[in-house]
Amino acid sequence: MDDRAAVSLDPVTLEVIRNALPAVANEMAADLQRTSYNMMIYEVRDFCTALLAPNGDLISQNVGGVSHFVADLGVIVVDGMKRYGAAGFRPGDVVITNHQAVAGQHLNNVVIYMPYFFEGDLLMFVMVRAHWIDVGGMSTGFGAGPGVVDPWQEGLQLDQIKIYEEGKLDDKLYRVIKDNIRFPESSLGDMKSQMAACRLATRRLDELFGKYGKRTIVAAIARIFDETERKCRNFVARLPDGVYEASAALDDDGILKDAPVAIHAKVTIDGGHIVIDLSGCSGERKAAINSRTLAGARVAYKALTAPLEPVNEGSFRALDVIIPEGNIMMARFPAPMSGWSAVVPTVVDTIIAALADAVPDNVPAGHHGLLGGAVVFFGVHPNTGRRFVVQSLEGGGWGGRPTEDGESATVSVCQGDVRNGAIEGIELKCPVLIESRAMRMDSAGAGLHRGGLGLDVRVRNLVEGRWNFEHTKREKCPPWGLWKGMPGESGGYLMRLPGETDFTPMRGAHVSVPVHAEAIVRTGGGGGWGDPLERDAELVRHDVIEEYVSPDVARRDYGVVLTNDRVVDGKATEKLRAVIRAART
């Protein structure tokens, strides 16, 4: 620390290093996307890349990718250092891990990381976490869903194992992984892409350290952490001190149908410091919707304080998170965690909602609050004999905001730059037909600023196969409105088998279906912000013309009367709105 303080940092050098470190993580991400085999990586962007200090401090993380990975990178480094010690790492080592006892996520989220040495000193770890389409067991697609009873049923568990040691491949471990996954070409190809991204990072770090030297870069990182912390504290200091609380719930955990999953956030603001207490959330469940993560609190805090700034360890120094062991967000291994991310977006939303009274002009209404509509269909193509899996993640509606409507068809707050799979790419690679991907009329909550719309994605499978219909339900706690805004609609899955007339709700994993079955993956809409009776009638008319809102809902929720020519009837609208206001009182 004394050496760091003694280094003189000129502003230009500091800014170069401040921007260079995130640039390394971003270049890792670009390299990973270009070389990966799996649409979940190169198209959907379900990954993150990062640089970390040996003590687990986050130095930089890529822009985009999955934002809820931000909380569960340093714990892996800390655990790896306990396992091997600083002396146990050598240049050329490559560690693979996905174990839930440390970073409690589904096993598909596989981490590859390498030590970085400069002049013989271990200075950093370079890391890539990416979603593999399969790790054996029930893991095909986005994970096995809440019905999995333990991690062993979910898939292959890899606990801080060196797959390369000083540059030499552990061939036995490689064969064990290959023989226990359904798509070895894809998953092991992705592993090699992850390693390539890490090796790229070590080359860029060599250039950076070679130019500026260790002492200068270490001092710059310490300064960057301090300045980031100060920016966050300055924002929090402008918020009114106090204790703020909010609650939400999932309908059930996927197994116990009449046992809601409680979510409660208590936020304490004191000067420039925030404490987020999630002790009031449900205890861990037998269903696989448990997690072991600080992601809910960290994503909410980052979104509030510095959403557009690069993230590093300084981003969270002014935040304390309280989650007791045995909480659904801090589950104890071997609690099943296949559906780990189902709860996290609603936790983030609940933390934000707790602050609505503190910062009413900054807080939006609730968004669809789930990870999105997962399109997962898999099987064996009869023409080629090869296994395939269809994967896409469909967005929903975000809540109306203090100044504008919510975004439509957008992934959850926890997913950063994740996007849905391109229809052309899906149909080219897999035997399915995407018959439509359309926004759902009337799915958005009404408001002065209405919520965003959810989606209906209709898919026909052209061969026999299996669907995953795992979707946490929030029908009893739909995306909430604020300040008289109305709630949005929730999502779900629908299925129609050949010969049937109507679609029926579906739920379950590995559901076997015949050729020409049709599924609808439905996502929720966002809540409305403000009184819908105060929304400009011409905006409501525009929404009707664009088929975002039906004429009946325009009349019922907004009090807007349209003629047969879709023109606003001003007098009738004024009269109807007065009647609705009177009925409220």
What confidence tier does 143 reach under pLDDT thresholds 50, 70, 90? low
What was the pLDDT predicted at 144?
64
Tokens 């090869």 sit at which residue? 386
DSSP alpha helix (H) spans, 432-559? 537-545, 551-558
Q: What is the pLDDT of residues 440-449, one digit of tens each?
A: 999 999 999 9
**Mean pLDDT, rounded, of the chain:** 93
Q: What is the pLDDT of residues 1-43, one digit of tens each?
A: 345 556 789 999 999 999 999 999 999 999 999 999 988 888 8
Instruction: Indicate the SS3 state at residue 406.
Output: coil
Q: What is the pLDDT of residues 247-259, one digit of tens each?
A: 999 999 888 778 8
Q: What is the pLDDT of residues 153-182, one digit of tens each?
A: 999 999 999 999 999 999 999 999 999 999
Of 511, 498, 430, 522, nearest in space to 467 by CA: 511
Cis link prior to 334 (omega < 30° from 0)?
A: yes
Per DSSP, 515 falls in state T
Q: Is 268 exposed, middle or buried (0-12, 13-18, 19+ CB in 10 A)?
A: middle
What was the pLDDT predicted at 1?
37
Q: What is the pLDDT of residues 50-88, one digit of tens each?
A: 999 999 999 999 987 677 788 889 999 999 999 999 999
Tokens 């471990």 sit at which residue? 173
What confidence tier does 471 reach under pLDDT thresholds 50, 70, 90? low
Length of the chain in terms of residues written: 585
Instruction: Indicate the SS3 state at residue 520.
Output: strand
The DSSP line for 108-161 is TEEEEEEEEEETTEEEEEEEEEEE-S--STT-TTT---TT--SHHHH-----SE
What was the pLDDT predicted at 2?
42
Share of the chain above pLDDT 70, in %: 98
User: What's the rounded mean pLDDT across residues 528-544?
Assistant: 98
Per DSSP, 7 falls in state S
Lowest mean pLDDT segment, chosen from 198-202, 356-360, 419-423: 419-423
Bridge partners of 292, per DSSP, are 104, 330
CB 74 within 8 A of CB 316: no
Q: Is the confidence at residue 325, as pLDDT, over 60?
A: yes
What confidence tier does 230 reach under pLDDT thresholds 50, 70, 90? very high
What confidence tier does 139 reach under pLDDT thresholds 50, 70, 90? confident
User: What's the rounded mean pLDDT across residues 90-101?
Assistant: 97
Measure the CA–CA gap between 139 and 134, rounded to whole angstroms.
Answer: 5
